[in-house]
Amino acid sequence: MRLKVGLLGGGSWGTTVASVVSRNAPITLWARDAETVDGINADNENHKYLPGIKLPSALRATNDLAEVVAGADVLVMGVPSHSFRAVLEEAASHLRPWVPVISLTKGLELASGKRMTELIEEVLPGHPVGVLTGPNLAREIMTGQAAASVLSMEDEIVVRALQPVFHSGLFRVYTNTDLLGCELGGVLKNIIAIAVGMGDGLGAGDNTRSALMTRGLSEITRLGVAMGGRAETFAGLTGMGDLIATCTSPLSRNRHVGVELGKGRPIDEIIAGMNMVAEGVKSAPTVIALAERYGLDMPIARDVYDVTQGKRSAQEVFRGLLRSAVGDEAHPG
């Protein structure tokens, strides 16, 4: 039986995942924006988020959320974290019982600090939940570059059953049962990418970038393990893998924010000039609150928080980093 997939969210990543899935399964994409829907159906193009890229003709889009959700055997959530709960609540009354819900979103709920899969469990109790995450820059995948990703769900049987929905020749989908670890890796690497971007914007060198990424991974792993993730997950595709892609690619929106901060531009101006989401800016305060709750020192994340809140400049933060105490690499703090 071919599972029918419904995907909510017509941004760059929702459209990309829908295009990938359309090779394997019937899929309908819901977008709130009528022009996005028309562009996908009439021109096979998402003019707003993936201009110039031809989408598969099998991909169909609609404005009708109820139709997409009610017809889905698998529901995929591709809206940013700030809209996730509202869209999920709208979907809830239309979803059939036990339909798995997979999140593509790499952010935390601002008010509660919750992960997106925690929101799914809260709004849709009883539905199997998962994430699809990894080093996956949308535009690269749409231009036919190979990539690997991870479908993570706690139940090994369910995750194996859903893997073929997402996996294809150039989009290689592994499975992992460490849901919390996989999900957190995707959230936390955004903050380190902002830090690396700040360094690049200030003209820092490759050694500096390498130091920030490595110490950043150490911060990610400390918090992730304290919250219940497995250490080895953070060394895999959803941790180190995604960190490398996001910290080094000019396509990353989070890194872009960092680069512009490094050049001295104010955060509000940078965000106002972007038509896409940079989740790390929104999750930095929540991550700092989590670090405090778990009694952990996360100096790079704290610096990103300070700069994105306008408390200090990128330049000040970089001077501070060079002056900070250095101890045992393996046992910081």
Tell me which residues touch ligand 13P (CB under 6 A). 106, 135-137, 190, 193, 242, 245-246, 252-254, 279
Question: Is there binding between residue 14 and ligand NDP (CB under 6 A)?
Answer: yes
Contact between 151 and 119 (Cβ < 8 Å)? no
Give the tokens for residue 304: 């990103």
Between 56 and 250, name the residue whose CB sits nearer to ligand 13P.
250
Q: Label residue 124 exposed, middle or buried (CB < 10 Å: 0-12, 13-18, 19+).
A: buried
Contact between 196 and 212 (Cβ < 8 Å)? yes
Between 11 and 128, name the residue whose CB sits nearer to ligand 13P.
11
Candidates 3, 7, 18, 31: give the one binding ligand NDP (CB under 6 A): 31
189 is catalytic: yes
- Binding letters toward ligand NDP, positions 257-296, x by CB under 6 A: -------------------xx-x-----------------
**129-133 vs 147-152, strand pairing mode:** antiparallel
Question: Is there binding between residue 33 and ligand NDP (CB under 6 A)?
Answer: yes
Residue 262 interacting entry, from ligand NDP, ligand 13P, none, C-beta within 5 to 8 Å by type: none
Residue 28 interacting entry, from ligand NDP, ligand 13P, none, C-beta within 5 to 8 Å by type: none
Tokens 């046992």 belong to: 331
Give the tokens for residue 229: 């993730």
Candidates 87, 95, 131, 192: give the one binding ligand NDP (CB under 6 A): 87
Q: DSSP assignment, residue 241? A: I
Q: Is 190 annotated as a binding residue?
A: no
Residue 219 interacting entry, from ligand NDP, ligand 13P, none, C-beta within 5 to 8 Å by type: none
Q: Is 61 helix (H, G, I), strand (E, B) or coil?
A: strand
Minimum Å gap between C-beta 253 and ligand 13P is 4
Give the tokens for residue 315: 């330049």
Euclidean distance between CA atoms 72 and 76, whole angstroms: 9
157 CB-near residues (< 8 Å, 6+ apart)? none
Give the tokens for residue 318: 């970089």
Q: Is 311 annotated as a binding residue?
A: no
Residue 100 interacting entry, from ligand NDP, ligand 13P, none, C-beta within 5 to 8 Å by type: none
Active-site residue set: 189
